């Protein structure tokens, strides 16, 4: 039997409500840096620690901590690897679980922005 559209909409609405009311509560996406890292990884699957460090503009320790949180949730995998002649690098890869999680989070963020701020809330960025 296909799911009831009203029921589905209600579930998504509850999830969006939970996201709004959960702001400030520690979670994988409670820090924008982590959302940014995951969004970037959604775009190109893997990157290096050095690249991320230059892009997120936070101290090394802070980036390590944020990556640790994402790894604890099994959203990313970190490994040592060689990249051409550049020598050993820490390579960070998104996992299928992380991909689903960030997609869901971005869609909820988008739904909330549409609901509370209207389409103009997105256009300004």
Partner 1 sequence: MEAQVLQHQRVEAELIAARLFRFRARRSVGVLYSLLSILPLTGVILAATVPVPFAVVAVAGGAVVAWYVARSSGLSGISRMQYSLDFLKGEKGMTYDSNKDVWLARRTNLGWFLASAWPWFGYIVAIMEGSTLFAAIFMLIFVGEFAVMVGLSHLPKVSSIFEWRLEDWAFVMGDVGIAFAAIIPGAPSWTWVLATPLFVLCGVKSLYDAPKELALVAS
Closest approach of partner 1 to the CB of residue 55, in Å? 4
The closest alpha carbon to 56, from 39, 69, 74, belongs to 39
Contact characters 1-30, partner 1, x per CB under 8 A:
------------------xxx-x-------
The closest alpha carbon to 70, from 33, 104, 43, 23, belongs to 33
User: Residues 6 or more apart from 102 whose CB is under 8 A from it?
Assistant: 29, 35, 38, 39, 41, 42, 75, 94
Write out the binding residues for partner 1, residues 33-62 only, by CB under 8 A.
33, 35-37, 39-40, 42-45, 47, 51-52, 54-56
| Binding footprint of partner 1 on the chain (CB under 8 A) | 19-21, 23, 32-33, 35-37, 39-40, 42-45, 47, 51-52, 54-56, 103, 106-107, 109-110, 112-117, 119, 121-123, 125
């Amino acid at each position: 039997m296909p799911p009831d559209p009203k029921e589905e909409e209600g579930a998504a609405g509850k999830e969006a409500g939970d996201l709004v009311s959960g702001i400030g509560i520690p979670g994988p996406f409670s820090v924008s840096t982590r959302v940014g890292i995951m969004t970037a990884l959604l775009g190109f699957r893997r990157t290096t620690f050095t690249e991320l460090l230059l892009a997120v503009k936070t101290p090394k320790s802070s980036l390590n901590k944020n990556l640790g949180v994402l790894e604890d949730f099994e959203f990313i995998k970190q490994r040592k690897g060689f990249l051409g002649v550049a020598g050993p690098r820490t390579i960070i890869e998104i996992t299928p679980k992380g991909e689903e999680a960030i997609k869901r989070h971005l869609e909820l963020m988008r739904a909330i922005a549409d609901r509370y701020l209207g389409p103009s809330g997105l256009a300004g960025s």
